[in-house]
């Protein structure tokens, strides 16, 4: 396998275990999220250095609104602070930030920060950091179907022309390639409404490590595990090497 193919183009991460980490350290849950931002920094740096082109992080699911108000506010605050604090460094490193998710429930301030980070980093061409923020894969697919149905209803699209590519083009990830590797930290082995359509042929990696303890070495172990996988896409081995 060539060096090029053994490095995933797109890594997506479910950053899990902040709450358990906080409990283990006798801290409040929000402190686990603060420590989680440090891991984001480390992994982003490691991904950019290794040649990964897209890094998607599940920062806040639509279901997360059901958490205690103080915790939700702490995560929103962390997002805003990170945007203000990190923007110059992201620009310097050539990192573009794209946010996927629904924007309807965010405060004015969060919306402002989303616009700010997306516009200031727009020209970054080294790595795209995709933040899934108020994201739900089922809602993403439902919204895509709704907009396809609208296009059919107004005669813009024929039913016979609906195919997988058309559906992909109506998702929030329309400009982003499917993930090659999905990591979920903390030993949990499920997708939790994350990139359900896009994950069809992704490789999965489930380390026991809690997200705040996930570092460059852990990231590199994940890439090593990925490099050993044989991706067949439903073909037989000889065909996949063709
Ligand atoms: C899951 O751990 C983590 C989250 C729901 C939030 C992740 C958010 C951050 C790392 C900070 C904000 C991100 C950015 C990019 C500014 P959990 O709380 O479910 O942990 P537990 O399962 O141990 O309770």
Nearest to 6 by CA among 242, 233, 228: 228
CA of 17 to the centre of ligand 1 (A): 7
Percent of the chain with pLDDT over 70: 96
Instruction: Look at residue 238 and tell me if it is in a domain.
Output: no
| Residue 217: exposure state from Cβ atoms within 10 A (0-12, 13-18, ≥19) | exposed
Per-residue tokens: 178:
């499917």
pLDDT level of residue 233 (50, 70, 90 thresholds):
confident
Instruction: Look at residue 79 and tell me if it is in a domain.
Output: yes
Mutate to test the pocket of ligand 1, among 35, 57, 68, 75 (most ligand atoms within 8 A of CB): 75
The alpha carbon of 74 is separated from its chain's Cα centroid by a whole number of angstroms, namely: 20
The count of residues in the chain is 242
Per-residue tokens: 35:
């420590």
Instruction: Look at residue 235 and tell me if it is in a domain.
Output: no
Instruction: Look at residue 194 and tell me if it is in a domain.
Output: yes
- Looking at residue 123, what is its pLDDT? 98
CA of 36 to the centre of ligand 1 (A): 7
Instruction: Look at residue 200 and tell me if it is in a domain.
Output: yes
Domain containing 62 equals 10-136+178-227
The pTM (predicted TM-score) of the whole model is: 0.94
Domain count, the chain: 1
Q: Is 64 a catalytic residue?
A: yes
CATH number at residue 46: 3.40.1180.10
- Which pLDDT tens digit goes with each residue over 56-86? 999 999 999 999 999 999 999 999 999 889 9
- Looking at residue 236, what is its pLDDT? 87
- Looking at residue 5, what is its pLDDT? 65
- Which pLDDT tens digit goes with each residue over 94-142? 999 999 999 999 999 999 999 999 999 999 999 999 999 999 999 999 9
Instruction: Look at residue 4 and tell me if it is in a domain.
Output: no
Alpha-carbon distance 157 to 240, whole Å?
34
* Ligand 1 atom 9 nearest Cα: 33
Instruction: Look at residue 92 and tell me if it is in a domain.
Output: yes
Query: What's the angle, vertex CA 9, arms to CA 5 and CA 15, rounded to 5?
Result: 130
Instruction: Look at residue 122 and tell me if it is in a domain.
Output: yes
């Amino acid at each position: 396998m060539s060096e090029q193919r053994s490095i995933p183009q797109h890594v997506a991460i479910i950053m899990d275990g902040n709450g358990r980490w906080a409990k283990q350290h006798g801290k409040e849950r929000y402190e686990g999220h603060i420590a989680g931002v440090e891991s984001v920094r480390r992994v982003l740096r490691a991904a950019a250095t290794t040649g990964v082109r897209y890094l998607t992080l599940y920062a806040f699911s639509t279901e997360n609104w059901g958490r205690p108000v103080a915790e939700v506010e702490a995560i929103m605050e962390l997002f805003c602070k990170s945007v203000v604090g990190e923007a110059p460094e992201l620009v310097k490193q050539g990192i573009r930030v794209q946010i996927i998710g629904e924007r309807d429930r965010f405060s004015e301030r969060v919306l402002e920060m989303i616009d700010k980070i997306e516009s200031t980093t727009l020209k970054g061409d080294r790595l795209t950091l995709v933040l899934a923020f108020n994201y739900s894969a089922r809602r993403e697919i439902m919204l895509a179907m709704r907009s396809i149905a609208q296009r059919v209803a107004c005669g813009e699209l024929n039913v016979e022309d609906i195919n997988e590519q058309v559906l992909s083009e109506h998702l929030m990830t329309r400009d982003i390639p499917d993930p090659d590797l999905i990591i979920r930290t903390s030993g949990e082995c499920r997708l939790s409404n994350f990139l359900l359509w896009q994950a069809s042929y992704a490789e999965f990696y489930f380390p026991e490590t809690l997200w705040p303890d996930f570092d460059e070495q852990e990231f590199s172990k994940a890439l090593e595990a990925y490099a050993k996988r044989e991706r067949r896409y439903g073909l037989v081995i000889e065909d996949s090497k063709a």
